Amino acid sequence: MKKYIQRLLVAIIAFSIGTAAIYLFAWDKIKTLNPYRATHSSENNSPYSLLEGRTVRLKPYDATFDIPEDWLAPKPALEPPKNLYLSWQDFNELNQLDFNNGFSDEEDAKVMNSVLPFENCAAHVGSKGWGNGLTSDLQARVFVVDSNSQQVTEKIKYQGLNKALGVFEKASLTSGNYGTWEKQTMGVLKMGSHTLLFKDIDFYYRSFGNKTVVFVFIHQSGWDETIKQILSSFKWTN
């Protein structure tokens, strides 16, 4: 009887260890497949934005920029409903979208997140809803980071370009500027089943004291004037 009890205890322990190992392995796989986590909150002292008319105010910096009036209009029912992500809740929804396998703008999000920590995102605005599957829109994401301009340049040239080469068929980088804004343009090619899609991921950045503001614009041709108007309207008052 004693030997039977000992064998039973050994079997129970072995089963428990095996079950725990399987659970830990499965949880590790789940975390890999779904790396989403909440990034913006009051506890984290996270940035967020307020909409004042067509002016976006970045908090806690009180920096502002203007968006086109028609970006405020309600979106058609067939499109994703949100083109403005400004609050902490909005950003956590946006972060979850970015990691959603099969999401139409997933590659763009991976490139941005390889260069700029998502927790430093202070606003996302667009001419249409994010993840609409179209190619004719303009999307813009704004970050405020502690890195200086040179560090941002290095991250774009290495982490950003390497990630783009991994998720797109082709990617190349060219440098430029717009006024006092430094500019790195990542031209990318995405191949669909019946189409070739060329588009640009533009990084415009400028340092203000110990902070650097980075605008990331994702678009095809035809949006140069809108991008210039947004950048020209930017004011840093902190």
Residue bearing tokens 């913006």: 40
3-state helix, strand, coil in the chain (%, to 5): 35, 30, 35
Would you say residue 72 has pLDDT above 80? yes
Higher pLDDT, 134 or 46: 46
**Looking at the structure, do residues 123 and 211 belong to the same domain, yes or no?**
yes
pLDDT (0 to 100) of residue 210: 94
Residues 12 and 56 in one domain: no
Residues of the chain above pLDDT 90, percent: 65
Shared domain for 145 and 209, answered yes or no, is yes
Mean pLDDT of 193-204: 86
Residue 8's pLDDT band, with cuts at 50, 70 and 90, is very low
* Residue 21 sits in the same domain as residue 71: no
122 in the same domain as 28: no
Give phi and psi for 212, each to the nearest 5: -125, 125
Per-residue confidence (pLDDT) for residue 19, from 0 to 100: 41
Asked whether residue 193 is assigned to any structural domain, the reply reads: yes
Contact 143, 121 (CB under 8 A): yes
Is 150 inside a domain boundary? yes
Kindly report the backbone phi and psi dihedral angles of residue 197, in degrees, each rounded to the nearest multiple of 5, phi listed first. -115, 115
51 and 2 share one domain: no
Residue 206 in this model has a pLDDT that exceeds 50: yes
Q: How many alpha carbons fall within 13 Å on the CB side of residue 153?
A: 12
Confidence bin at 120 (pLDDT 50/70/90): very high
Q: What is the C-alpha separation between 218 and 220, in angstroms, rounded? A: 7
68 in the same domain as 19: no
Q: Are residues 116 and 191 in the same domain?
A: yes
Average of per-residue pLDDT across 7-17:
47
- Taking the model in full, what pTM does it have? 0.82
**Do the domain assignments include residue 237?**
no
Residues spanned by the domain of 109: 39-232
Tokens matching residue 106: 């997933």
**Structure confidence at residue 102 (pLDDT):** 64
In a domain, residue 97? The reply is yes
User: How many domains, the chain?
Assistant: 2
How confident is the prediction for the chain on average, in pLDDT? 85
Q: Return the pLDDT at 46.
A: 93
| Residues 146-162: tens digit of each pLDDT | 999 999 999 999 999 99
With respect to residue 77, please indicate whether it lies within any of the assigned structural domains: yes
**Mapping DSSP to helix (H, G, I), strand (E, B) and coil, where does residue 4 land?**
helix
Mean pLDDT, residues 88-101 taken together: 87
Judge if 215 and 100 occupy the same domain: yes
SS3 3: helix
Range 166-183 average pLDDT: 96
What does the pLDDT average to over 159-168? 96
Q: CA-to-CA distance for 220 and 197, rounded, in angstroms? A: 9
Taking residue 80's Cβ as centre, other Cβ atoms within 10 Å add up to: 16
pLDDT tens figures, 20-67: 333 333 333 333 344 456 789 988 889 999 999 999 999 999 999 999
Q: Tell me, what amino acid is at 35?
A: P
Residues 43 and 28 grouped into a single domain? no
Residue 238 lies in a domain: no
Does residue 16 sit in the same domain as residue 58?
no
Is 108 found in the same domain as 72?
Answer: yes
